[in-house]
Structure 1
Amino acid sequence: MNRRLVLKQLAMATAGAMLLPACGVDPKKVSIALNNLKVSGDEEDLIAEIADTIIPATDTPGAKAVGAHLFTLVMVDDCMEKSEQEKYLKGLRSFNDSTKKITGKSFIKASPEERLEILTALEKDRDNLPEETKVFYSRTRQYIVQGYTSSQHFLTDVKPYQLIPGPNYKGCIPVTEQKPA
């Protein structure tokens, strides 16, 4: 037996064993760090598409473009109690079941018109939805709108923020005594 050949083959086998896990297909990762939520990249994409349906891009960027879906995930991760987070995640995972009942497709595969139809139907049929789906949809919608209206784009381009009391404030005015009427 040739020792050089054995050593070469052993080195190749070791390198191959180390390289093999790197070649595997990992599920898509979330683009932000979350402490409590365990959300996949596909679930993040679902929330992004819901955001884009609620506030679509027109001549101004939509909710997805300003990152309202990421704001939503951070708010759920940081501001909701553990039990509410669990309901939210169950609702997130059952959301596609609710959409398949309406259009027969998952939300991601639906056209923009079908997505709007899905959200309209969910609004109308809110009382008959499972509790988790209600929690998911209402919180997602609330945080998407909040994230969009507190984004830099909205506060600088759409509705510029003015510092109170404003530029016309006059703080040095003599106080005069007024007579009661």
Structure 2
Amino acid sequence: MLRRDFLTMIAAVTGTAMIGGRAMAYDPTTAGTNAFSAEDTAFLDEVAEVIIPKTDTPGAKDAAVGAFMTVYVSDCYTAQDQQGFRTAMENLKSAATAQGKDFMQMSADERTTLLDGIAREARTASAEGAAKAKAEGRAAKNADLHWFTPLHQLVLFGFFTSEVGSNEVLRYEAVPGEYIGDLAYNGEPAWAT
């Protein structure tokens, strides 16, 4: 099942208006036509490929995660969250420039080293932000997260909800365990689930 078909199905089940068999919860866009350019999509594809590289299983580029991210952010994020995402992209580009190269010109090893360092920094900063929120007696918010964390999370979400990620990387079991269709029943209460 295609990701957009799945999202359309969810929209239909949750009560979104259907017109001519099409969910009208959003206006579909394509990568680079709304809030992001084709260059942004290519950049996000390269970032995603560092996070989920192609090995004996498909990588993020195989799942077109960059294009997914641009559409998802354009269609689903508020203007403030879109700006936060753009800031994260710019921060990442600046971190690469501080290393002496444009991110797109870095080798795979240089990109991996850069993102590993940023991810370690993000884990520490996000944990500190969550601890601060807890100490203040409130739920953690996006503002408590390191700028890289939402970008990283969107890469993972985009990949593992894609057709490639869900069918070729993950394993799906409709019902965990064995199905026994003819089970002896002696009058006790039936299972609720």
Alpha carbons 2:35, 2:74 under 8 Å: kept: no
Question: What is the aligned-residue identity percentage?
Answer: 25
Determine the C-alpha separation between the residues in 1 that align with 2:170 and 2:55: 16
Q: Which has the higher mean CA deviation after the structures are superposed, 144-153 or 161-170?
A: 161-170
Over 3 Å counting, the alpha-carbon distance change for 1:162 and 1:42 in structure 2 is same
Task: State the TM-score, normalizing by the size of structure 1.
Answer: 0.65
Counterpart in 1 of 2:17?
none
RMSD between aligned residues:
2.9
Aligned residues: 141
More helix as a share of residues: 1
Determine the C-alpha separation between the residues in 1 that align with 2:91 and 2:168: 37
Alpha carbons 1:149, 1:155 under 8 Å: kept: yes
The answer to whether the aligner puts 1:107 opposite 2:103 as a matched pair is yes
Aligned pairs for 1:140-151 within 5 A: 140-151=151-162
Shift in Å at residue 51 of structure 1? 0.6
- Equivalent of 1:161 in 148, 158, 172: 172
Shift in Å at residue 150 of structure 1? 2.0
Counterpart in 2 of 1:125?
121
Alpha carbons 1:154, 1:160 under 8 Å: kept: no
Letter in 1 for 2:67: L
- Look at both structures and tell me which one has the larger radius of gyration over its CA atoms: 1
Structure 1: give runs of 5+ residues left out of the alignment: 1-30
Letter in 1 for 2:118: L
Determine the C-alpha separation between the residues in 2 that align with 1:150 and 1:117: 27
The answer to whether the aligner puts 1:116 opposite 2:127 as a matched pair is no
The answer to whether the aligner puts 1:32 opposite 2:30 as a matched pair is yes
Alpha carbons 1:53, 1:112 under 8 Å: kept: yes
Structure 2: give runs of 5+ residues left out of the alignment: 1-28, 126-142
Runs of 4+ aligned residues of structure 1 deviating over 4 Å after TM superposition are none
Partner SS, residue 63 of structure 1: coil
Over 3 Å counting, the alpha-carbon distance change for 1:87 and 1:154 in structure 2 is closer
Partner SS, residue 64 of structure 1: coil
